[in-house]
Structures are given as C-alpha cells and as structure tokens.
Structure 1
Amino acid sequence: MPEPSTTSWQHGLRFAFGTLTVLPVPVTRWDRDAARGGMLCAPLAGLVVGACAALSGVVLLALGASALLAAVACVAVPAALTRGLHLDGLADTADGLGSAKPAEDALRIMKQSDIGPFGVITVVLVLLAQVAALAQAYGDSWARGVLATVVSATAARLALTLAARDGVPTARPEGLGAAVAGVVPVRAATVTAVVVTGAAAAGGALVGAYDVIRTAVAVLAALGVAELLLRHCVRRFGGVTGDVFGGLAETAATVSLLVLSLGQ
C-alpha cells in the first residue's frame, strides 16, 4: 500500500472533524481513502473535543464553581460538539442488544427514531458515571480533571480507529458504519493505539508519577472493554453500524474515566 500523501491526510482530517464533530469542517471526499485517514485521525478529533471540554471545566472552577458543576460541563461539551450522536448511538445499541431479537429485527429497532427503556437506562447510568468520575478528578485537582477529560475523549475516538480496522464487517450496506468499516489496516490501527497510549501516559507524567501508569491503564482498559462490546455487537448484528461506533465511543470514555478515578 503506498504511503498516504499530504493531500490524503488533509482529506482524512476533514473527514474526522467533519463526521465526528460539529466544527465547521467540510468533508470534501467521501471515499475509502478519506475514511481511512479520517479514522486514523479520529483521536485528534477527540483531543480537540476533550480540550474544549476541559477548558470549560477550568473556567468554571476559576469562577468559583464546584467540582461537580465543572464535571457536568465537561460531559455536556462533548455531547454538544458531537450533536449527541455518540449518546444516541449508545442508546440505540443498548436497545438493539437488549431486545434479544434476531439481527434483522434488532437493526430495525436501532434504526427507529425513538429510544426504548434499555437505551434510556444505559444513557442515564453512563452520564452519571462520567459526571461522578470527573467530579472526583476535579475535586482532587484541576490538573487531574483536565487530564481525565482530555484522555477520556481521546480514548473514545481511539476506540473508533480500532473498530474500523480491517476484518470488522458492516451490518448494513449504507450509513457511516458502512463507510468506515474495515478501512484501517490492522498494523496502522495498532501503531495509532500505541502512540495515543504513550501520549496519554506522557500527559499523566505532568500530573504525577503514579498518573503515568494509571493513565496508560485507563486507555488500555477502555480499549479492552470497547473491544469486548465490538465483538458482541458483531456476533449479534452481523457487523458494525454508526450506532455501534457511537456506543463504543461512550463506553471507552466511561471506562477510562472510571479507571482514572480509582486510587485518587
């Protein structure tokens, strides 16, 4: 496979930010090459989303707000910057899995505009877990709050990179899931995971020696749980969908936050 050119990476960045955020970045190409670059650049989109969320938390703390309010802001900003698509995907995935119906029926349930009881319960519990973990982090120090916010957002998008690797099938012939399923070579996905994990550990070093290990473990745990969910969804639905990608992102973010909250 030829090395991607600078132009290809530009299209990949546009694809990543144009599909994974609400930032005004037009997607100029919608093909497999652009999707591959976009999924490899997904952690960068997460880094920007996390940085924006962390900024809101720090500003609120500087204005005298509580750690809890800062945590709520750091959960709300990523939801706003993604139009709530990842949370919606999490809800739809939970409804599909919770239905215990055959793949075709489960996919039809996931495609409906309404959210069922499994989706509501899952989203509520996930948001509560995220807010609780971030409140604990910001209550410990603003630096640990920022670290947790940025790492969780980046790990969430890294899970998408790995889910888009070669060999993972799509459950539908259309949609975002079909556009990105199987576009990332396994080696490239692995290298991206190693680089992001190392960068997260380096960020942890700025906070404390123990945070180096804890941050790396948080990313790896997030990827591990997301991988388990991915495999379960592939077995149940026959492949991935855009909703599954959203569910993977929120799952990875939550797991990373829970791990980062331990031992504080």
Structure 2
Amino acid sequence: MNGFLLALRSSFGFLSTIPVGITMEGLDEFFKRTYLHLVVGIVLGLIMGAVAYLLVNYLPISIAAVLVIAFVYYITGLNHLDGMADLGDGLTAHGSVEKKLKALKDMSLGIGGVAYASLVIVAFYATLVALHEQSSILSSSSADIARIFFFAMFVSEISAMQSMLTIAAFGKSIHEGLGSILVNNTTVPKYLIGFVIGIVACVAMSFYLGFGIVGIIPFIAAILATFILLNISNRHFGGVNGDVIGASNEVGRIIALITMTLILMYGGIVWTL
C-alpha cells in the first residue's frame, strides 16, 4: 500500500471508530499529511448528516437530538470529549502554571472536567433543539427541516476537524506525545490545504442544497472560536497538548452549530428552501 492510501486509512483509524486498522507506520504517514483531517471530516459529516436527516424526519426532536449525539460519539469515540474534560480540570485548577499542567495531565477526573464535559453535551443537545425550532419557523416541511440538519451536521464536523488543525498549526506543544507530533507536523502549508478543502466542501454542499454560500460562515466562526481557545490555553498552560486539540474538536462543532442556528434566526432569508 502506498504512503497516501496508508495515511488515508490511518486517518480514519485515528479520528473515528471505523474499524479500518491502524499501525505506527500508518500513523507516521498520516502525520505527514495532517490535512487529511478534513477528508475524514467530510466523510464523517456525510454519515452524521444522513443519520440526522433520517432521525429528524421521523422522530420528535427531543428523541432525535439524543440519538444524533449518541451516534456522533459512537462514530468518533470519546477521545475528544475526554480532552474537554481534562481541559476543564486544568482550567479550574488554582495556583501556578505547574499546578494547572498537573491537573490537565492527571488521569483522574475532577469536578472541573465533569462540568466542562457536561456543558458540551448540554450545549450540543440545546443547539440541536434550537436549530429545529428555528428551522420550523422558516419552513413547515419536515423534509426541509431534515435537509437543514443534514447540512448542519456536515458543516459542523468539517469545522470540528479544521479546529483541531488550527490548534495544531498555531499552538506550541507543552510536552511530548501524540499531540506534540501533530503540532510539529502541522505546518502552515498543510493547514492551508486543509482550510481550502474545508471551504470548498462547505460551499459546494451549500450550493448543492440551494443554500448559497451559507456554509462558509459556521466554518469561519469555528476557526475564530478556536483561536480564542488557543489564547486561553496559552495563558493557563503556556501552550497546548493533545487534550486541548481534542477539546477544540468539541468547541468547533458546537460553535458551528450555534452559528447555523443564529443564521436561521437572524438571516433566514438567505436559505432558499
């Protein structure tokens, strides 16, 4: 198997629970091509979008939202949510940078981690419900509402992957590990390749579904939010690690979904349903 195909297979093994197999050689090839995060994001976004489309079309939103969230974590694993929990422990620790770093890297879960992880899940659920509410105001057609959910899940997963690349490209590693390998290998050119892939995918899907260029807005919003997270991490820890990279995935997804909801709420006219 050539290097690119091995890297592509390994990217799915690293970033999802899809059983494609993963080896150290494959990881090495993947880390040479970190822009493949966006390829994984596109595929996972299509799968998540299709699942959301079906669930929202045939189930009450309260039940559909829970099942969408469950599926997202089923197919992506809990590593990123675990990163958010570890980040929460680190940010809520009192004292010096050293004490915060110790809490960040501690294997045990503290109240800060519980609070941050819980907040992510609650925000995920609340945003899906709000997205449904605003979609229902815009259109009474269940098919149109489901189509918006497909699009929202597609764009939000791509945004989540670009958020991780943003942390990796512009962050400074604070200790050795998979996070530092990702940081060291994500150069600005690789970041820009991922950025272009993400923009093209979001805009192409926007036009295909008849939504204009709406998809670019949540994508950019997620990146901007990630820079805020990067600044917070630099102030508290002096840099980033794998936990911060994982947390950025959760932040990027939620911010993208919130942005989609706000677009519907304040600029629904741009949606040509």
| Residue pairs, 1:212-227, within 5 angstroms | 212-213=213-214, 215-227=215-227
Q: Report the Cα distance in structure 2 between the residues aligned to 1:44 and 1:13, rounded to whole angstroms.
A: 8
Pick one of 28, 41, 48 that aligns with 2:43. 48
Across the aligned residues of Structure 1 and Structure 2, the Cα RMSD in angstroms comes to: 2.2
The reply to whether residue 245 of structure 1 matches residue 245 of structure 2 is yes
- Counterpart residue identity of residue 222, structure 1: A
- 1:220 Cα offset (Å): 0.3
Q: Report the Cα distance in structure 2 between the residues aligned to 1:204 and 1:218, rounded to whole angstroms.
A: 12
Q: Report the Cα distance in structure 2 between the residues aligned to 1:31 and 1:144, rounded to whole angstroms.
A: 35
Asked if structure 2 preserves the Cα contact closer than 8 Å seen for 1:168 and 1:182, the reply is no
Counterpart for residue 8 of structure 1: 3
Counterpart for residue 67 of structure 1: 61
| Residue pairs, 1:181-200, within 5 angstroms | 181-200=183-202
Instruction: Tell me which moved more, 107-116 or 151-160.
Output: 107-116
Asked if structure 2 preserves the Cα contact closer than 8 Å seen for 1:67 and 1:136, the reply is no
The reply to whether residue 169 of structure 1 matches residue 172 of structure 2 is yes
Q: In proportion to residue count, which structure has more helix?
A: 2
Note closer, same or farther for the CA distance 1:101–1:77 as it changes in structure 2 (3 Å cut).
farther
- 1:10 Cα offset (Å): 1.9
Note closer, same or farther for the CA distance 1:116–1:216 as it changes in structure 2 (3 Å cut).
same
- 1:13 Cα offset (Å): 1.4
How high is the TM-score relative to the length of structure 2?
0.83
4+ aligned runs moved over 4 Å, structure 1: 30-33
Pick one of 27, 32, 48 that aligns with 1:36. 32
Asked if structure 1 preserves the Cα contact closer than 8 Å seen for 2:65 and 2:129, the reply is yes
Counterpart for residue 105 of structure 2: 111
Counterpart for residue 148 of structure 1: 152
Kindly provide the CA deviation profile for residues 143-176 of structure 1, in whole angstroms up to 9, marking residues without a partner as x: 11011111111110111122222x6321112x22
Asked if structure 2 preserves the Cα contact closer than 8 Å seen for 1:53 and 1:75, the reply is no
How high is the TM-score relative to the length of structure 1?
0.86
Counterpart for residue 93 of structure 1: 87
Kindly provide the CA deviation profile for residues 27-77 of structure 1, in whole angstroms up to 9, marking residues without a partner as x: 23166553131x211122222322332232233244x31123222222221
The reply to whether residue 18 of structure 1 matches residue 13 of structure 2 is yes
User: 5+ residue gaps in structure 2?
Assistant: 136-144, 265-273
Q: Report the Cα distance in structure 2 between the residues aligned to 1:46 and 1:26, rounded to whole angstroms.
A: 18
- 1:114 Cα offset (Å): 2.9
- Counterpart residue identity of residue 203, structure 1: M
- Counterpart residue identity of residue 45, structure 1: V
Kindly provide the CA deviation profile for residues 222-253 of structure 1, in whole angstroms up to 9, marking residues without a partner as x: 00111221232134223221111111110011
Note closer, same or farther for the CA distance 1:71–1:117 as it changes in structure 2 (3 Å cut).
same
- Counterpart residue identity of residue 52, structure 1: I
Q: Report the Cα distance in structure 1 between the residues aligned to 2:100 and 2:230, rounded to whole angstroms.
A: 15
Q: Report the Cα distance in structure 1 between the residues aligned to 2:67 and 2:27, rounded to whole angstroms.
A: 35
Count of aligned residue pairs for this structure pair = 253
